[in-house]
Amino acid sequence: MNEGLILALLLSTASAATPLMLAALGELVTERSGVLNLGVEGMMLVGAVAAFATMSQTGSPLLAFGVAMLSGCALSLLFGVLTLHLMTNQVATGLALTLFGVGLAAFVGQPYVGGVVKGVEPLLFGLDPITLLAFVLCGGLWWFLGKSRAGLLLRAVGEKPAVADAIGYPVRRIRYLAVLFGGAMAGLGGAFLSLVNTPMWVEGMTAGRGWIALALVVFATWRPERVLLGAWLFGGMTVLQFHAQALGLAIPSEFLSMLPYLATIAVLVLICRNPRTILLNQPLSLGKTYHPDR
């Protein structure tokens, strides 16, 4: 194999990994605060359509990415109000958010089907700015969650909200911030899909990436540095699928497209096989509603 091909493979793996990495890192922070948001898929889709619509209206990638993050935030705020203030079941609300997001994105995106926008230019070593940002984010979160005081507080809220509350920390506000961060990152991941990966809008174009991102958080045992590994693994799988035909593998394309989904299941089995792995790493209050009874 020549170097050019290897470089091309690496670059396409990077751009396939980036949306997964962004969404998974956002969800990781949300889950570390004890909130399980199953609406990642919906937020990504809305981010994708918002970015595409903004880009075709204004032509400004900066604005497009910004609007995508804001719309992801808006959806996660809705989730936050329902689960943190109205104390709804997090699983059901997250599902509702995904179903709503799928509907909303299809509705908003109807006029943009078939439209084309100019893709985002590479910045450094053939990598686009968002991919670089994803790496920085990964390192930053590793530092934030592991080394910083604010990160420790976030983790405390995720483990024992009642204790954090008793000491006087604003549990609800911290959880809101974590949920909003998750929304912004999912929106950005979605925008990456519709502006960089394939500069166009197709209904349901995330194709389950939001759910794969959720699985990645489990795979990473809630550690940001391991999200990098997982996302690259899945990115590689996606690239393999495009290059398999070129490499002369006579496998029907549908079976190759199944790979990321089957791999997600396989990875979940590997990690969850030993229940202690999950028990030791999962935030203690994950998915549980906290109601400060006064």
Partner 1 sequence: MFQLETRPVPSATMRLLSPLIAALLMLASGFVLFTLLGQPALKAFYVFFVQPLTTLYGVGEWLLKATPLLLCSLGLLIAYRANVWNIGAEGQLVMGAIAGGGVALAFPDVSASWLMPAMLVAGVAGGMAWAALPALLRTRFHTNEILVSLMLVYVAGLGLRFLVNGPWRDPEGFNFPQSRMFHEAAILPLLHPEMRVTVAGVLALMLVGLIWLFLSKSWLGFRLTVAGQAPAAARYAGFGERRNVWIAMLISGGFAGLAGVAEVAGPLGQLQPSVSPGYGFAAIIVAFVGRLNPLGALLASLLMSLLYLGGETAQMELGLPAAITGLFQGLLLFYLLAADLFIHYRVRRSERAPAAVLKEATR
d(CA 195, CA 91): 30
SS3 (DSSP) at 75: helix
- By CB under 8 A, name the one of 93, 131, 238, 285 that touches partner 1: 93
Is residue 38 within the footprint of partner 1 (CB under 8 A)?
A: yes
Binding mask 7-26 for partner 1 (x = CB under 8 A): --------------------
Best CA proximity match to 39, nearest among 206, 156, 191, 232: 206
Q: How far is the CB of 245 from partner 1 (least distance, A)?
A: 15
Structure token pair of residue 89:
């079941």
* CA dihedral of 184, 85, 28, 125, whole degrees rounded to 10: 10
The crossing angle, in degrees rounded to 10, of helices 3-32 and 149-159 is 60
Evaluate whether 51 touches 190 at the Cβ level (below 8 Å). yes
Contact range with partner 1 by CB under 8 A, out of 102-110, 122-130, 181-189, 222-230: 102-110
Is residue 252 within the footprint of partner 1 (CB under 8 A)?
A: yes
- By CB under 8 A, name the one of 6, 7, 62, 91 that touches partner 1: 91
- By CB under 8 A, name the one of 107, 114, 247, 250 that touches partner 1: 107
Is residue 230 within the footprint of partner 1 (CB under 8 A)?
A: no
Judging by beta carbons within 10 Å of its beta carbon (0-12, 13-18, 19+), is residue 50 exposed, middle or buried? buried
Q: What are phi and psi of 116, to 5 degrees?
A: -130, 140
Best CA proximity match to 213, nearest among 227, 195, 201, 194: 227
Is residue 101 within the footprint of partner 1 (CB under 8 A)?
A: yes
Is residue 62 within the footprint of partner 1 (CB under 8 A)?
A: no
- By CB under 8 A, name the one of 9, 11, 63, 207 that touches partner 1: 207
Binding residues for partner 1, rule: CB under 8 A, are 38, 78, 82, 86-89, 91-93, 95-97, 99-104, 106-107, 109-110, 203, 207-208, 211-212, 214-215, 218, 252, 254-255, 257-258, 261-262, 264-265, 268-269, 272-273, 275, 278, 293
